Amino acid sequence: MLAMNFRGPLRVRIDHKPMPEIQHPQDAIVRVTRSCICGSDLHLYNGSVPDTRVGMTFGHEVTGVVEELGAGVGNLKIGDQVLVPFNIACGKCVFCQQELYGNCHESNSQATAVGGIFGYSHTGGGYDGGQAEYVRVPYADVGPTVIPEGMDPDDAVMLTDVVPTGYQAAEMGGIQPGDTVVVFGAGPVGIMAARCAWLFGAGRVIVIDHVDYRLEFVKNYAPCEAYNFKSLGDVVVFLKRTTDWMGADVCIDAVGAEAAGRVMQTILGRKLLMQGGSATALHWAINSVKKGGIVSIVGVYGPIDTLVPIGNVVNKGLTLRGNQASVKRLLPRLIEHVQNGILDPKALITHRIPLEEVSDAYRIFSAKLDNCIKPVLIPPSARS
Amino acid sequence: MENTAIENTVQDTSQIKGWGVDSDTENDPTYPMKHRNNGEHAGYSWERPPQQQTDVEILHSNERPNVSAVFGTSTPPAGLSGMIRRYAFKYSESSYGHWLPLMLADRVGVVEGYLEDFSRGHVPNVFAERGWKAEWKHNRTSLVKRVLVGAVVATAAVAYLRSGSDDSSAKKERRPRRARR
Ligand SMILES: NC(=O)c1ccc[n+]([C@@H]2O[C@H](COP(=O)([O-])OP(=O)(O)OC[C@H]3O[C@@H](n4cnc5c(N)ncnc54)[C@H](O)[C@@H]3O)[C@@H](O)[C@H]2O)c1
Ligand SMILES: [Zn+2]
Ligand SMILES: [Zn+2]
């Protein structure tokens, strides 16, 4: 089958690989119909996640058709059209039992600090991902969800990660009616977080980025205020001034390890890889939230130490909340929102690219070429 | 020497004055992210899913007693990078001894990837792998600029090295002369 093949930092290509096989009674094999590239893949692509092995296939945002089932799968049948949450979750461990599906204890041998994630290095469990024609889906009774009748496949694939992550970013903010919410990052996740902040009753939503076409998009989509940090001077002072010197009630980090904007963070976190990424957005979030405020972190960082102004967290009495989105927990509500037209996730998809052109697709998304917001890879069998 | 380790005795919370009087479950910072059932207090005791069988080598974090019931079998450790990865897994996720060797192994893996390609008679097209076609299509001026800058830097470097080697040969010539003086 065709599959994306990682060859080293900034180098990916399409290759032929053996078909995945059932390896566990609760496995399914899914024929992929759509597979997105995510901001999280950029951390792998840039070589900043330890134990990302050459030869691996990435891809954790997948829809497809069930082709084969292990003997222990009861909830799916061959031919079902499914959307596959990015977390691999057993449904049985104490963490899954408490709906922390991003923190499963039975899906990742290599690291206890994160549950299994499709196509996300060996630190994420060593699973080949879905930027391929077929993918092995473990615990098929737990994660995969049959796509509801009539749902647009582009909406379905956005429900595997972007929508739940953006929603949970807002949810973790503990937003109260009237709150001012600042979202750092106008990538797909930040855009969705800004949109969802309203669902929790925000009074004002502000998005910060430095890519103008994305700011323009989110301004209309969320809708919200959008500012290019390059034109603001000191971002923190700007945010203080615009909140009558109080600071925002809630700040959301939807940027993560690849943040731009501060030279020292960029050098330490992105060039030298001496910390778990560049923490510029998180730094700004901590410093521009009000005293007693909440910082919600969905931006992904590497596992080693990262410089953040932790003293301010203490002195300001902040609450920091973060997690990998618990996709399965949120899906019922979010499917409803999509079906009722409250959320329109497919509007974020700007590029539909043949799987065979995966090298170019990564470049387009990573270098933000051609006004790209969200690219989705489509394997030959799913193209008409 | 005497063992001076601190002994941690389990406290009987019912004996602690005021224990739990101000507990407010809704004040859990993860509320409502989880349906708290305090299952963790019972330890690693849930009924585990059946264990995936494999003949592939799976490394596991020393912060857990076992491999997870299910795991990925992509790209098992092999070669020099594999040896480094095995070494890294002697250390916990809390240790640089774990992550730094893994980063090193990743870089070594890139070189092994080239060798593997060559051994199969495949010369990787690095430009294509880096998506230069997309750059050419959507970002031509910047690509051309970068290539030109690269070329200028390379030419300058070559010129410098040449002049450097001229220099040193000149020095070599001069030195004996000075020595003679
Ligand atoms: N927690 C989760 O479950 C989860 C799920 C999906 C993605 N993520 C993470 O969310 C983050 C965003 O994902 P995405 O797909 O939107 O990625 P993306 O790369 O498309 O978006 C990131 C955006 O941040 C902007 N940016 C860079 N530096 C900034 C700064 N200092 N301040 C403000 N904006 C800045 C970039 O210009 C870009 O538009 C990534 O770190 C990704 O790994 C987390
Ligand atoms: Zn993702
Ligand atoms: Zn679990």
pLDDT at B175 over 70: no
Q: What is the mean pLDDT of residues A254-264?
A: 94
Q: Which tens digits make up the pLDDT trace of A228-238?
A: 999 999 999 99
pLDDT for B176: 46
Return the residue in B25, B62, B74, B81 with the most chain A beta carbons within 10 A, the one to mutate for interface testing.
B74
pLDDT for A253: 98
pLDDT for B174: 46
Q: Which residue type sits at A12?
A: V
Determine contact: A128 vs chain B, CB below 8 A: yes
pLDDT for A172: 93
Q: Which tens digits make up the pLDDT trace of A39-74?
A: 999 999 999 999 999 999 999 999 999 999 999 999
A204 C-alpha vs ligand 1 centroid, how far in Å? 21
pLDDT for B16: 72
Residue B21 makes CB contacts below 8 A (sequence gap 6+) with: none
Q: Which residue type sits at A269?
A: G
Residue where the block lists tokens 């974020």: A348
The lowest-confidence range among A104-108, A352-356, B9-13, B158-162 is B9-13
Yes or no: say if B97 and A135 are a contact pair by the CB < 8 Å rule: no
pLDDT at A270 over 60: yes
Return the residue in A5, A51, A135, A333 with the most chain B beta carbons within 10 A, the one to mutate for interface testing.
A51
Nearest Cα residue to atom 36 of ligand 1: A185
pLDDT at A315 over 90: yes
Q: What is the mean pLDDT of residues A330-359?
A: 97
The lowest-confidence range among A43-57, A339-353, B18-32, B90-104 is B18-32
pLDDT for A322: 95
pLDDT at B181 over 80: no
Q: What is the mean pLDDT of residues A80-96?
A: 98
What domains can be seen in chain A, in order of their start residue?
A: 2-161+326-382 (3.90.180.10), 162-322 (3.40.50.720)
Residue B153 makes CB contacts below 8 A (sequence gap 6+) with: none
Nearest Cα residue to atom 14 of ligand 1: A39
Q: Which protein residues touch ligand 1 with a CB less than 6 Å away? A: A 38-40, 42-43, 161, 165, 184-190, 208-211, 214, 229, 254-256, 258-261, 280-281, 298-300, 324-325
pLDDT for B94: 93
pLDDT level of residue B27 (50, 70, 90 thresholds): low
Q: Which tens digits make up the pLDDT trace of A288-303?
A: 999 999 999 999 999 9
| pLDDT higher at A358 or B163 | A358
List of long-range contacts for A341-344, beta carbons under 8 Å, 24+ apart? A342/A199, A343/A163, A343/A192, A343/A195, A343/A196, A344/A155
A187 C-alpha vs ligand 1 centroid, how far in Å? 5
Residue B17 makes CB contacts below 8 A (sequence gap 6+) with: none
